[in-house]
């Protein structure tokens, strides 16, 4: 191993910079040249490579986003165009590739390995926390804390005005962030893609526990089958005409900000480990973190399988929900 390349792909998540820093520093410690690729797979297609040094990653561990950038690449999806783009990896004598991202990013990494034969390693980084083979992905903890802080502030207004707020969080295909944030913020209900939403039942439950005399919070994953927060209010309103219903979409604030201490440690551990296992001869695996220890999962499993939220937390919310305003 003389030259290890790496890129960040998919949606940015807090802690990606900490992971980049760990990869660069461990490579240099092992006398390997770290080569960053700008703007994800798009950077491969255009040969946008960056031979990095210690100075390039100085003072970035606390920064959100990714200094390498991330972008979609339609050209990379085209087999013929991809074949031409991958010649840049060969011309730059890249011995291995580390991809920091989600399952879609891992699918791209797997295609590269199959087509030009270089070993690839995946580091799971997504605020959705839906990657199989790891308890937590880089960025999830920070996003969770961002949501909880926002909901705490929204609750102040909900209580003051006796309003029911439907707070929409990210999670197009996964309700993991929504469910965890609902428990952590004390929300009365949560709507996730993994569970079918019954609008009439939802309205009855809200009226039963609210009676127009208290504020309430309903967390909504953006991928819920009934739609986003505004869609759901439109469907619920005919059943709750006497209630003040409001929607808040948290949007991209969930992706940004300084990574939490947990995400910094997780990203640093995974990034350094990715370099170590390449040197040890492992390839085409994802670095996972299970029960406090590093684990490895075949990259194909990380692509095809998905982590599901603990639906037992739905029962927990039911137990904690106030039945009426007198209790």
Indicate whether 156 and 227 sit together in one domain.
Answer: yes
pTM attached to this predicted model:
0.93
Indicate whether 112 and 195 sit together in one domain.
Answer: no
Indicate whether 10 and 131 sit together in one domain.
Answer: yes
Q: In what order do the strands lie in the sheet with 245-249?
A: 189-191, 216-221, 164-169, 245-249
Task: Of 266, 258, 11, 250, give the one whose Cα is nearest residue 148.
Answer: 250
Strands 189-191, 216-221: pairing is parallel
3-state secondary structure of 94: coil
Under 8 Å between Cβ of 23 and 4: yes
* Neighbouring C-beta atoms of residue 214, cutoff 10 Å: 16
Place of tokens 């001869």: 281
Residue 314 lies in a domain: no
Q: What is the average pLDDT across 64-90?
A: 92
Indicate whether 135 and 276 sit together in one domain.
Answer: yes
CATH code for the domain of 123: 3.40.50.450
| Structural domain containing residue 179 | 141-255
Distance (Å, whole) CA 134 – CA 301 = 11
Of the two residues 44 and 309, the one the predictor is more confident about is 44
pLDDT at 123: 98
Residue 312 lies in a domain: no
Query: What percent of the chain is predicted at pLDDT more than 90?
Result: 85
Indicate whether 186 and 250 sit together in one domain.
Answer: yes
Domain count, the chain: 2
Indicate whether 68 and 14 sit together in one domain.
Answer: yes
Domain final residue, candidates 195, 222, 255: 255
How does residue 327 score in pLDDT terms, banded at 50, 70 and 90? very low
Q: Check whether 213 has a pLDDT greater than 70.
A: no
Indicate whether 248 and 237 sit together in one domain.
Answer: yes
Residue 128 a catalytic site member: yes
Distance (Å, whole) CA 146 – CA 128 = 13
pLDDT at 16: 98
Indicate whether 192 and 133 sit together in one domain.
Answer: no
All residues at 6 or more sequence positions from 158 whose CB lies less than 8 Å from its CB, including other chains: 164, 165, 215, 216, 217, 246
Residue 282 lies in a domain: yes
Under 8 Å between Cβ of 317 and 178: no
- Of 23-27, 169-173, 323-327, the poorest mean pLDDT is in 323-327
Residue 10 lies in a domain: yes
Indicate whether 234 and 248 sit together in one domain.
Answer: yes
Residue 288 lies in a domain: yes
Q: Which residue among the candidates 103, 128, 141, 263 is catalytic per the annotation?
A: 128
Residue 145 lies in a domain: yes
Indicate whether 14 and 102 sit together in one domain.
Answer: yes
Indicate whether 151 and 131 sit together in one domain.
Answer: no
Residue 190 lies in a domain: yes
Task: Of 268, 12, 13, 249, give the one whose Cα is nearest residue 143.
Answer: 13
CATH code for the domain of 235: 3.40.50.460
pLDDT at 52: 98
Indicate whether 132 and 153 sit together in one domain.
Answer: no
């Amino acid at each position: 191993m003389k030259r290890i390349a790496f890129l960040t792909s998919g949606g940015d998540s807090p802690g990606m910079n900490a992971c980049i820093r760990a990869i660069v520093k461990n490579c240099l410690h092992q006398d390997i040249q770290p080569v960053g690729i700008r703007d994800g797979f798009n950077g491969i297609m255009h040969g946008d490579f960056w031979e990095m040094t210690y100075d390039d990653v100085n003072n970035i561990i606390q920064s959100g986003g990714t200094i390498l950038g991330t972008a979609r690449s339609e050209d990379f999806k085209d087999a013929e165009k991809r074949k031409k783009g991958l010649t840049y990896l060969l011309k730059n004598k890249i011995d291995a590739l580390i991809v920091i991202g989600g399952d879609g990013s891992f699918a791209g990494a797997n295609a590269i390995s199959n087509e030009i034969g270089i070993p690839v390693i995946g580091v799971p980084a997504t605020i959705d926390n839906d990657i199989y083979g790891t308890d937590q992905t880089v960025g999830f903890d920070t996003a969770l804390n961002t949501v909880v802080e926002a909901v705490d502030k929204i609750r102040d207004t909900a209580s003051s005005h006796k309003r029911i707020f439907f707070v929409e969080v990210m999670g197009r295909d996964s309700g993991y962030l929504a469910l965890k944030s609902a428990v952590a913020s004390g929300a009365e209900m949560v709507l996730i893609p993994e569970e079918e939403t019954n609008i009439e039942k939802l309205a009855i439950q809200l009226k039963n526990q609210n009676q127009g005399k208290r504020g309430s919070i309903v967390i909504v994953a953006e991928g819920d089958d009934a739609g986003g927060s505004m869609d759901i209010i439109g469907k619920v309103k005919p059943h709750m005409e006497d209630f003040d219903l409001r929607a808040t979409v948290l949007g991209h604030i969930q992706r940004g900000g300084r990574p939490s201490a947990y995400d910094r440690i997780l990203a640093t551990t995974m990034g350094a480990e990715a370099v170590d296992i390449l040197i040890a001869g492992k390839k085409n695996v994802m670095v996972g973190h299970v029960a406090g220890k590093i684990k490895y999962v075949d990259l194909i499993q990380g692509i095809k399988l998905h982590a599901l939220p603990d639906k037992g937390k739905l029962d927990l919310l039911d137990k904690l929900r106030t039945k009426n305003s007198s209790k």
